[in-house]
Amino acid sequence: MYLERVTAKDFLSYTSFDVAFSDGLNVIYGMNAAGKTNLADAVYLSSLGRSSRHPKDKDLIKWGAENGCSVACTVKTRFSRHTVEVTVGADGKKRVYIDRLPVKRIGELMGAIGTVFFAPSETKLVRGAPEDRRRFVDIALSQQNKSYFYTLKRYSSLLKQRNKVLKEYRGGAMTEHYLNIVDADLVQAGAYVGKCRRAFIAELESLAAARHAAMTGGKEKLSLKYESDAGESAAEFGEKLRASRANDMRLEFTGVGVHRDDLKIAVGGVDLRKFGSQGQQRTAALSLKLAETDVFELRTGERPILILDDVLSELDPERREGLFAAVKGMQTLLTCTDPPEISGAKYYHVTDGKIIRE
């Protein structure tokens, strides 16, 4: 997959831009707050239908713009070329189009522009809460498998229904009746989500270990372990839900399920979630992201676009060189303040609200 062109109008700090990228390493540099991350966010938005930094769509509109904003990305795959456009009206309403046809459900967008995004804040993948690690897995899988995206949404909806029943009925025959109905669907959706996550992590582990070894000179061994209390089948999940029902009714929320899953990330047997240094956590997180590109290619036949936003300042010289070697041969958008000299890279200077290709 190759990102050919990105255009935008009244998007964040930009009045407009039209940029063509190379299929290798693209270095986007400029002063802090020049708009480098906003350019990266335009690609992220076109890929996932939402910004990496702004939860409210209306905040994507440039200050003072009266007619909303728009972003469009054109990508070329092995077999086709298509354009994804995202617009946000002055009223804050977002619309998504693929080749000018409206996208009715955001799931239709998944995988149209495959991206893997990494920024310094992404170290929360290792040191953050379990929900941060679930989010990493869920975004990766949703881009590779639309069925996963829709099933995960269904699971979340059913979970909300179940928790509502637990809070509103507070025990008794009606609670049991409604829980039986919801649980029958919840276990099926949860079992599918768990199955997909386990398969993904099993595939990711060896690839992430190889990426990590390459970046550290083989000094440390990375390992992953999927942690879940939901069991490995719908039958097991159903049994666990029934066993926890009395406790769930007392606490008024669902205490068992794939919404509580976690991913143990260890180096040399040491759990980095609790004991890793910042350098170890950063390298592990970056290794996982690089391995995500490998899994995406193995499963879809396409290499995703790698977005590295302001990561060089966080890496020592040895790990920088390891990173440059790792991204060789894949399309990468690398934002930074001081551009490194890399053979074959294309350079884009962001200044005064403009993006200048050198």
Annotated binding site for ATP: 30-37
CB-count burial class (<10 Å; 0-12, 13-18, 19+) for 58: middle
By the 8 A CB rule, do 288 and 273 touch? no
Chain centroid to Cα 138, Å, comes to 7
Beta strands in 90-245 (DSSP E): 94-98, 101-102, 115-118, 222-227
| Token pair listed for 305 | 């676009």
Closest by CA position to 333, among listed 49, 116, 122: 116
Tokens 């009715």, located at residue: 104
d(CA 167, CA 163): 6
Amino acid at 137: V
| Token pair listed for 70 | 């728009």
By the 8 A CB rule, do 262 and 254 touch? no
d(CA 178, CA 163): 11
| 3-class secondary structure, 19 | strand
Binding-site residues, in ranges, read: 30-37
| 3-class secondary structure, 65 | coil
d(CA 195, CA 223): 19
Tokens 């398969």, located at residue: 199
Beta strands in 99-181 (DSSP E): 101-102, 115-118
User: H-type helices in 82-145, by residue range?
Assistant: 124-127, 130-144
